[in-house]
Amino acid sequence: MKTALPPALTGLAVALAVTAASAPAAAAATTTAASGTGGLREVLFVGNNWDGTADVLEASGSLARIGRINVIPDKDQRMLEIYLNPVKLAYFLGIRMSVGEGHDQFVDDMYSTPDGSAVVVSRPSFADVVSVDVATGKLNWRFPVSGYRSDHMAVSPDGARVAVSASTSDTVHVLDIRTGRETGSFTTGDKPHENVFTDGGKRIWNSAIGEVNTALDDPFWDFTKGDRKITVVDAETYRTVKVVDMRQRLDDFGRKDLSDAVRPVAFTPDESKLYFQVSFFNGFLEYDVAADRITRGKTLPKNPATSEDRTTWVNDSRHHGISMSPAGDKICVAGTMDDYATVVDRATLEEGPLITASKPYWATVSGDGKSCVVSESGSDSVTAIDFATGRKVASVPVGDHPQRVRLGKVAADWTGPSAARG
| Model confidence pLDDT, tens digit, residues 176-188 | 999 999 999 999 9
To the nearest whole percent, how much of the chain has pLDDT over 70?
A: 90
| Cα distance between residue 342 and residue 101, in whole Å | 26
Q: Taking the CA atoms of the chain, what radius of gyration do you get in angstroms? A: 20
Superfamily name and number for 40-421: YVTN repeat-like/Quinoprotein amine dehydrogenase (2.130.10.10)
Per-residue model confidence (pLDDT) at position 31: 40
Residues 6 or more apart in contact with residue 161 via CB below 8 angstroms: 155, 174, 175, 176, 177, 183, 235
pLDDT at 29 over 90: no
Q: In this predicted structure, what is the pLDDT of residue 97?
A: 87
Across 90-105, average pLDDT: 91
Burial class (CB in 10 A: 0-12, 13-18, 19+), 348: exposed
Q: Given a cut of 90, is residue 274 above it in pLDDT?
A: yes
Output the CA torsion 372→376→382→385 (10° steps): -30
Tell me the torsion sign for CA atoms 322, 325, 331, 337: negative
pLDDT band of residue 20 (cuts 50, 70, 90) is very low
pTM of the model: 0.90
Which are the contacts of 23, defined by CB distance < 8 A and separation ≥ 6?
74, 138, 139
Give the whole-angstrom CA distance, residue 77 versus residue 299.
47
Q: What is the DSSP letter of 126?
A: G
Query: Are the C-beta atoms of 79 and 23 separated by less than 8 Å?
Result: no
CA-based nearest residue to 235, from 174, 319, 144, 193: 174
Burial 252-281 (b: 16+ CB within 10 A, else e): ebebeebbbbbbbbbbbeeeebbbbbbbbb
Among 111-125, 213-227, 315-329, name the one with the lowest average pLDDT: 213-227
